[in-house]
């Protein structure tokens, strides 16, 4: 084991934890424990909130122009350290180097969006709404905001989705890093202060268990909670935090479906499915784990998918040639294999088996190879529940109508895709699908940071999504000001009004 991380960063410095329990962090490619992070105490969680609360007034009162200048500098720091952060992400999570570079890049893009805050956060004003009265709406900071980070994007989600818009709007932040993949986030926060020069306490980070994390959703000093993770936990966070008067956005699980019609470009469609299903080893909420294929081309589609999946280079995440890396932990590997076994028990046909995957030299890594389950029917749980691994479920459908009905019957609605040459069916799909992010001949319909990440149904709980205009609204509150300046004559008129006259 290389090191024990002391704790999180709050009040602008590392703090030595009084924890008695530590969470191991592994190199996913080798299985080796490379670090341990403490299960911070309840008192330490409260101290992190206190640090953010103390930093809030001065940061909120800093001009927008100066806050943006900090973020311009932060953007350059991220670019300068992109490779270092990418390697760290690949090690602790298992993403390939290119995927990890994408993770860091997706932290940079929302930072760039935050640099546009002076135009994005402008309020509304109206002169002469009634005689001699003007009204304006301002967007004001909230205070302390909490970010609860998932395991699968340790750069993008904390320092893309959670930090940039929150702080440019004048808030301060407490991050709960994920206990399986905390190292990338911790290193980014070191850079945030050591090279970025941000005032102490603007962003704070802790590691803790779910019991102590409850403090982050109930403490009265916390004004907003943004969460990414499982639906069960997301519902809990949403209900508890909202019940304590906080605004909440909870991005949760997904079971994204694609509808592949017989007039699609077969080669391009399979390539898109390979990328979206097996990219990040399937550990992302915008993966494409279910493909509804029109029966007339299903055999050809499955054969080509298997052929391409078998050619993927599986190996160490931080080697350039690797195309499919490991999953995050041995426990998660066992969970994925359990789902594959469940699918077989339910009657799915195993076309490609990734359960016994041990790349040479990395036999102790957490590897699951690409897996294809064909003839998955709607009643099978393997085709309904999130697996979060490199597993493709094939559902064969007669036509568009059956396909869209199966897709919309799913309780999740993060993303959905259609592959077709038909403009008619493409437009129908955009209108008919429950998916919040829709792809037409696009396997991963994630919008740029200038648009909201807009999941639906059991994939999201809240009113305002992350990023885009929704993000700015989430991290600010409206204050509407009505102003009246009057001369002596107007003052007398106001006095008469108060005495009972209706004159204005």
pLDDT confidence bin for 132, thresholds 50/70/90? confident
The stretch 327-353 carries a mean pLDDT of: 98
Catalytic residue flag (residue 145): no
pLDDT for the residue 165: 98
User: Quick one: 152 exposed, middle or buried, by C-beta within 10 A (0-12, 13-18, 19+)?
Assistant: buried
Angle at 300 between CA 295 and CA 303, to 5 degrees: 120
pLDDT for the residue 316: 98
pLDDT for the residue 503: 44
pLDDT confidence bin for 1, thresholds 50/70/90? very low
CB 304 within 8 A of CB 271: no
pLDDT for the residue 13: 86
pLDDT for the residue 481: 94
pLDDT confidence bin for 130, thresholds 50/70/90? confident
| Sheet architecture: strand order including 415-419 | 349-352, 371-374, 391-397, 290-294, 257-260, 415-419, 437-440
Phi, psi angle pair for 188, to nearest 5°: -65, -35
pLDDT confidence bin for 5, thresholds 50/70/90? low
CB 317 within 8 A of CB 94: yes
Q: How many C-beta atoms lie closer than 10 Å to residue 345's C-beta?
A: 10
Distance CA(115)–CA(97), nearest Å, equals 27
pLDDT confidence bin for 492, thresholds 50/70/90? low
* pLDDT score of 344 more than 90: yes
Radius of gyration for the alpha carbons in the chain, expressed in angstroms and rounded: 25
| Sheet architecture: strand order including 203-206 | 203-206, 172-176, 144-148, 222-228, 247-251, 460-462
DSSP letter, residue 162:
I
Distance CA(186)–CA(40), nearest Å, equals 14
Query: Which of 107-111, 124-128, 169-173 is predicted with the least confidence, judged by mean pLDDT?
Result: 124-128
484: β partners? 133
User: What is the three-class DSSP state of 161?
Assistant: helix
* Complete DSSP assignment for 252-313: -----EEEE-TTS-HHHHHHHHHHHHHGGGG-STT---EEEEEHHHHHHHHHHHHHHHHT--
* pLDDT score of 444 more than 50: yes
Render pLDDT for 57-93 as a digit per residue (tens, 0 to 9).
Answer: 999 999 999 999 999 999 999 999 999 999 999 999 9
Phi and psi based region of residue 39 (left: phi greater than 0; alpha: psi -120 to 50; beta: remaining):
beta
* pLDDT score of 496 more than 90: no
Task: Please tell me the pTM assigned to this model.
Answer: 0.94
What domains appear along the chain, each with residue ranges and CATH number?
Answer: 3-252+459-481 (3.40.605.10), 257-440 (3.40.309.10)
Distance CA(276)–CA(355), nearest Å, equals 20
CB 227 within 8 A of CB 461: no
pLDDT for the residue 122: 84
pLDDT for the residue 155: 98
The stretch 44-53 carries a mean pLDDT of: 96
Quickly list H helices, 421-487.
423-432, 468-474
pLDDT confidence bin for 402, thresholds 50/70/90? very high
pLDDT for the residue 494: 57
- How many CA atoms does the CB half-sphere of 37 hold within 13 Å? 25
Render pLDDT for 253-303 as a digit per residue (tens, 0 to 9).
Answer: 999 999 999 999 999 999 999 999 999 999 999 999 999 999 999 999 999
User: For residue 467, which of 69, 65, 70, 114 has the smallest C-alpha distance?
Assistant: 114
Render pLDDT for 197-220 as a digit per residue (tens, 0 to 9).
Answer: 999 999 999 999 999 999 999 999
* Percentage of residues of the chain with pLDDT beyond 70: 95
Helix (H) or strand (E) holding 410: none
DSSP letter, residue 448:
P
Strands (E) in 362-501, as ranges, are 371-374, 391-397, 412-413, 415-419, 437-440, 456-457, 460-462, 476-484
* pLDDT score of 473 more than 70: yes
Distance CA(466)–CA(161), nearest Å, equals 6
Q: What is the mean pLDDT of the chain?
A: 94
pLDDT for the residue 129: 83
User: For residue 248, which of 218, 231, 227, 228 has the smallest C-alpha distance?
Assistant: 227
Per the structure block, which two tokens stand in for 281? 């080893």
* pLDDT score of 457 more than 70: yes
Q: At what angle do helices 183-194 and 82-93 cross, to 10 degrees?
A: 160
CB 49 within 8 A of CB 222: yes
Distance CA(186)–CA(206), nearest Å, equals 9
pLDDT confidence bin for 225, thresholds 50/70/90? very high
Distance CA(342)–CA(338), nearest Å, equals 6
* pLDDT score of 126 more than 50: yes
Render pLDDT for 349-370 as a digit per residue (tens, 0 to 9).
Answer: 999 999 999 999 999 999 999 9
Quickly list H helices, 115-244.
117-120, 156, 164-168, 183-194, 210-218, 231-243
* pLDDT score of 499 more than 70: no
Distance CA(162)–CA(11), nearest Å, equals 18
Distance CA(186)–CA(173), nearest Å, equals 14
Catalytic residue among 89, 285, 292, 417: 285
User: For residue 40, which of 23, 61, 64, 54 has the smallest C-alpha distance?
Assistant: 23
The stretch 428-437 carries a mean pLDDT of: 98
* pLDDT score of 386 more than 70: yes
The stretch 239-249 carries a mean pLDDT of: 98
pLDDT confidence bin for 489, thresholds 50/70/90? low
């Amino acid at each position: 084991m290389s090191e024990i991380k002391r704790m999180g960063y709050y009040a602008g410095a590392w703090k030595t934890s009084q924890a008695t329990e530590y969470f191991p962090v592994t190199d996913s490619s080798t299985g080796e424990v490379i670090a341990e992070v403490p299960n911070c105490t309840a008192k330490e969680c409260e101290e992190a909130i206190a640090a953010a609360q103390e930093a809030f007034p001065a940061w909120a009162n800093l001009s927008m122009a100066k806050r943006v200048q900090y973020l311009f500098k932060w953007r350059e720091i991220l670019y300068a350290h992109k490779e270092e952060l990418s390697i760290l992400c690949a090690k602790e999570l298992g993403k390939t180097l290119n995927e990890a570079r994408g993770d860091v890049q997706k932290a940079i893009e929302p930072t760039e969006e935050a640099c546009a805050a002076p135009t994005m956060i402008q309020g509304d004003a109206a002169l002469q709404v009634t005689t001699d009265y003007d009204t304006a709406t301002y967007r004001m900071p909230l205070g302390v905001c909490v970010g609860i980070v998932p395991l699968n994007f340790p750069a993008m989600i904390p320092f893309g989705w959670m930090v940039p818009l929150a702080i440019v709007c004048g808030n301060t932040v407490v991050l709960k890093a994920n206990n399986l993949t905390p190292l990338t986030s911790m290193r980014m926060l070191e850079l945030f202060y050591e090279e970025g020069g941000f005032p102490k306490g603007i962003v704070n980070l802790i590691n803790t268990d779910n019991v102590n994390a409850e403090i982050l959703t109930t403490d009265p000093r916390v004004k907003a909670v943004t969460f990414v993770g499982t639906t069960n936990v997301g519902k809990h966070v949403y209900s508890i935090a909202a019940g304590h008067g906080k605004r909440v956005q909870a991005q949760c699980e997904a079971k994204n479906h694609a509808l592949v019609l017989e007039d699609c470009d077969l080669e391009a469609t399979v390539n898109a499915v390979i990328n979206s299903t097996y990219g990040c080893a399937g550990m992302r909420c915008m993966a494409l784990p279910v493909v509804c294929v029109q029966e007339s081309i299903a055999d050809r589609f499955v054969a080509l998918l298997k052929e391409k999946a078998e050619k993927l280079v599986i190996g160490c995440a931080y080697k350039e040639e690797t195309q499919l890396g490991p999953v995050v932990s041995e426990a998660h590997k066992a969970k994925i294999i359990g789902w594959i076994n469940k699918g077989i028990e339910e009657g799915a046909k195993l076309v490609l088996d990734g359960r016994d995957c041990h790349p040479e030299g990395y036999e102790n890594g957490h590897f699951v190879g690409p897996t294809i389950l064909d003839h998955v029917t709607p009643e099978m749980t393997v085709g309904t529940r999130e697996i979060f691994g490199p597993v493709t479920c094939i559902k064969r459908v007669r036509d568009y109508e059956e396909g869209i009905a199966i897709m919309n019957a799913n309780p999740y609605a993060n993303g959905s895709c259609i592959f077709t040459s038909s403009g008619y069916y493409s437009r129908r799909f955009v209108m008919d699908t429950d998916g919040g992010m829709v792809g037409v001949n696009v396997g991963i319909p994630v919008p740029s940071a200038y648009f909201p990440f807009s999941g639906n149904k059991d994939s999201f709980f809240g009113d305002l999504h992350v990023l885009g205009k929704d993000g700015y609204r989430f991290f600010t509150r409206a204050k509407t000001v009505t102003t009246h300046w009057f001369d002596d004559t107007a003052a007398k008129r106001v006095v008469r009004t108060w005495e009972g006259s209706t004159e204005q």
